[in-house]
Each structure stands twice: as C-alpha cells, then as structure tokens.
Structure 1
Amino acid sequence: MSSIVLNIPEGKKVYFSSDNHLGAPTPEASFPREKKFVAWLNEIKEDAGAIFLLGDLFDFWFEYKTVVPKGFVRVLGKLAEISDSGIPIYFFVGNHDLWMNDYFQKELNIPVYHKPQEFTINNKSFLIGHGDGLGPGDKGYKRMKKVFTNPFSKWLYRWLHPDLGVKLAQYMSVKNKLISGDEDAKFLGEENEWLVQYCKRKQNQKHYDYFVFGHRHLPMTIDIAESSQYINLGDWIQYYTYGVFENNTLELKEYKES
C-alpha cells in the first residue's frame, strides 16, 4: 500500500470526523444535526489544511447512474464550497454509504476510498478508514458486506425504481442491525474491541503513529504500542466529537456551537 503524502502549512490543521448518519431516523429528526455539522464545517474552513470524512455521513446512500438520494443540500453545498476553495477533502465510505461511486469525485472533487489508506502528514504516519468489517469476529456483517458490494448485486438493485429502492434501503438501514453492521455503543475492553485487535496486528507489520477510524460511535484514544495510538472519532449523534491534528499531535475534541 503506497502512502499519500500531505505537507500541511504551518498554522493549518487537519480535521477528522465520522458517523453523522444524516437522514436517520428521519430526515426531519436529523436536520438539526445536519445544521450543526455544517456550522462546524463553516468554522474549520478558516484554518483547515485538509479534512477527512470517515464514512456514514449518510444513513443511506445509493448511486444510480443518474440519480442520488434526495436531500442533504446544505452539507453537500458546504463541502462543495470548501473543496472549491482549494482545501482537500478525503472521503471514506462506511457501512451505510458503501454504495458510493463517483458522485463525490465528479461533483465535489472529493476522492472516495473504499478501504483503509495510508497517509503521511507532516512526517507522521496514519492508517485511516471507516472501520467496518476489520479485525476478528463480525462474521455475519462481513458476509453481508460481500453480498452488498458484489457488482452483480448492485446491478440488480439498480433495476428497482429509486423511490422503491431508497425507501427499502432506508428501512433496512434502520431496522436490520446485521445489515447495518452497528454494534451497541459501549466499550468492550481492549481485548474485545475488534478495531484495537486489527490495529495491533497492523502495527506488528508496520509502524503507524496513528490509526484513525470511526464506525464504533465511541470517542476513544488507546495506545497500541510505543508512539502509536488508535483514535476512534465517536459520532455526530450523541458525542459530536472530531479529531484535530495540530503541531504533530492528534487529539479528540467536542464541538460546541459558539
């Protein structure tokens, strides 16, 4: 895996966020969270050198050839504004928006990643991803993910009219936890946290200063080895937490509107 190198100018910061699940449980209920996230984006654009969005921005996203899900115009418009201003944004698909293809790339100039990717940011090494299906266990979800990401399965699904396809997927996203891949948002202990085990295995193969993931909906910082940390970004449902890399250090912060 080749590393993408970012040299962030002095005085600029790198921001990370994950798991907004916009649209859940209903568009109306998630609207205040969307406005809060847009307010955060509007604030950080002043000193951002790069922004990483680590998946599940939407509770459901499926791209037909000529159709994308209705809504989310405020957050999409803000991302377009930031991207157009020259601030790079990197998007990693999550288990709720894993059907994303090239819409973000073509419309917003935002590259999309479907698996963890190495980055070198100001000489610090990062392994970044959403986090679903990594590490031991979670076998039921891993089987379902293979089905849903299979090109033939996606081809079949596109034959559903978007009104039916989106409605069905939104229902399954909320109701079926096997499909969603969500787990109870409680800390299971280092020995039972699958992402911690994944990071330790990767660290044995190659040193990373930071492993940055979402998916677990729990803000946490865990030492993997000497000079190596696993950071989980939490979510924008209960915690409103995000990561900020500044002065060669990554830490979690909570967003509170000014």
Structure 2
Amino acid sequence: MTTLFISDLHLSADRPDITACFLHFMSTEARGIDALYVLGDLFEMWIGDDDDSPFHQQIKTAFRQLTDSGVPCYFIHGNRDFLIGKRFNQETGVQLLPEHTVVDLYGTPTLILHGDTLCTLDEGYQRYRKKVHNRFIQWLFFRLPLSYRQRIGDKMRSGSSQTNQTKSQSIMDVTPTEVVRVMAEHQVRQMIHGHTHRPDVHTLFVDEKAASRIVLGDWYDHGSVLVCNPQGCQLETRDFQPQ
C-alpha cells in the first residue's frame, strides 16, 4: 500500500534530464500504487490545453498509460500550470482537484495544496495571482492565437524570474500564521504542499495540538518523491540518469 506525491517538476523540452527521470518514474515506480498526486507546477509553463506539441503529447501519454493501468492520478494547479483544464483531464484520465483538498491518507486527514496561497507576505505575487485567476481574463487569454499566448507566457516567465531575484527568501516562503489558520480551518493535523522548493518536515501546533507540514522538493537537480504508506511518509530523491 503506497501513495506517492510529487510537485514542482517544471517539465519542459529544455530539460530532457528531468523528463527522462519523470517518464521512468511513471513507467516503473508509479505502477501498481494506490494513487499518485501531483501538487502543481508539473510544467514550466502551460498556456492552454490546445497546445498539442510533441513534448506535451509525450507527457500526456505517460499519464494515460498510468491511469489506464488502474492507478488513480490527481492534480492540483500550480502557479505555472493553473490553465490546465478539462481537455487535459479527458486526454489523460487525471482528475483535477480544488486548490485546497483534504484527503484520507491511511486514516490521517491531510490537507494537500500547491502552497502558493500560503505565501501571504509576497503581496506582489498575491495581486498577480488574483488577476490571472480571474475567469474573464482567462476567457480573453484563450481567445488569443496560440503563438501570441506562447510569447505572453515566455515574457511572464522571464519577468517572474527577474522579480524573484530581488525578493528575500522569507517573503517567498510560507507565512507560519497562515499555515496554522488554514490547517485549523480545515480541521487537519497534517499538510502536504510544494511551491517553495524547500523539502522538509516541519512540526507545529494547531489549536494546541501537534501537527506536521510536509514540503515537497523540486526536480531541478534530482527527482523528489514523497512516499506514504500506513506506517508514515518519507521524502526521497531519485537520481537523473546520464544522458
């Protein structure tokens, strides 16, 4: 009995080493498990389900093969791929979940999320997030030609990288009081999220009771997987194969 969690792969055609590690993971380790959860930023950028590039088709095929084998796959949007929609769901069999979802993880109610909503001190990002999640703005965006959306996405990605270089690490990390508030709101003692690229297991207190916050790692230097079973959860890494 095993459930796996991954996030922040930032898959792109520019990083074949990450892609190879992910495809190997999907065809081996992910087979026969209870469930796979992807907690956002699967892709470096997603500008719409109509982007049928060979690279995207390769990733979608890997998910379809896994779900066809009987493994349930779930996805929560990240800040890079929040435009993944129903067509992706239909083509892959991956089930899209709300941004804050509570799951029963072997008897432990667990809140899962991407994690960007917890970074409340990053006010500039939160303003940006509110704008791009506006349904009307998204409706307008999807009516642009794919090539235009590609250029807009590239510009936004470049701007985000430059802006983050000027921000302090504390601003881009989660806000502890927001973590406690959200966990109390959902009445859980365990949280799993990504986004910050700081894999760790944190102990905290929610309503004067011990709780834990598990942070998933990114896939920039190696694969990162949270392996959970009835005995508990363990953060593990997976080496990239030589190209």
* Structure 2 length-normalised TM: 0.86
Higher deviation after alignment, 106-115 or 81-90: 106-115
Aligned to 1:8: none
Structure 1 231/195 Cα, relative in aligned 2: closer, same or farther at 3 Å? farther
Matches within 5 A, 1:1-258: 12-23=1-12, 27=13, 29-63=14-48, 67-68=50-51, 70=53, 71-177=55-161, 188=170, 193-205=173-185, 207-225=187-205, 226-256=209-239
The question of whether the paired residues in 2 share the 8 Å contact of 1:59 and 1:170 is answered with no
CA drift at 1:105: 1.9
Q: Percent identity?
A: 22
Aligned to 1:6: none
Output the CA distance in 1 between the equivalents of 2:2 and 2:175: 26
Aligned length: 237
Higher deviation after alignment, 84-93 or 72-81: 72-81
Output the CA distance in 2 between the equivalents of 1:86 and 1:184: 45
Output the CA distance in 2 between the equivalents of 1:230 and 1:88: 24
* Structure 1 length-normalised TM: 0.82
RMSD of aligned Cα (Å): 2.6
Aligned to 1:5: none
Q: Which amino acid aligns with 1:213?
A: H
The question of whether the paired residues in 2 share the 8 Å contact of 1:210 and 1:229 is answered with yes
Q: Secondary structure at the match of 1:35?
A: helix
Q: Which amino acid aligns with 2:177?
A: Q
Q: Which runs of 5+ in 2 are unaligned?
A: none
The question of whether the paired residues in 1 share the 8 Å contact of 2:35 and 2:72 is answered with yes
Cα deviation digits, residues 203-257 of structure 1 (max 9, x gap): 4445424210000011111012355211111101134211010133011001136
More helix by share: 2
Output the CA distance in 2 between the equivalents of 1:112 and 1:196: 27
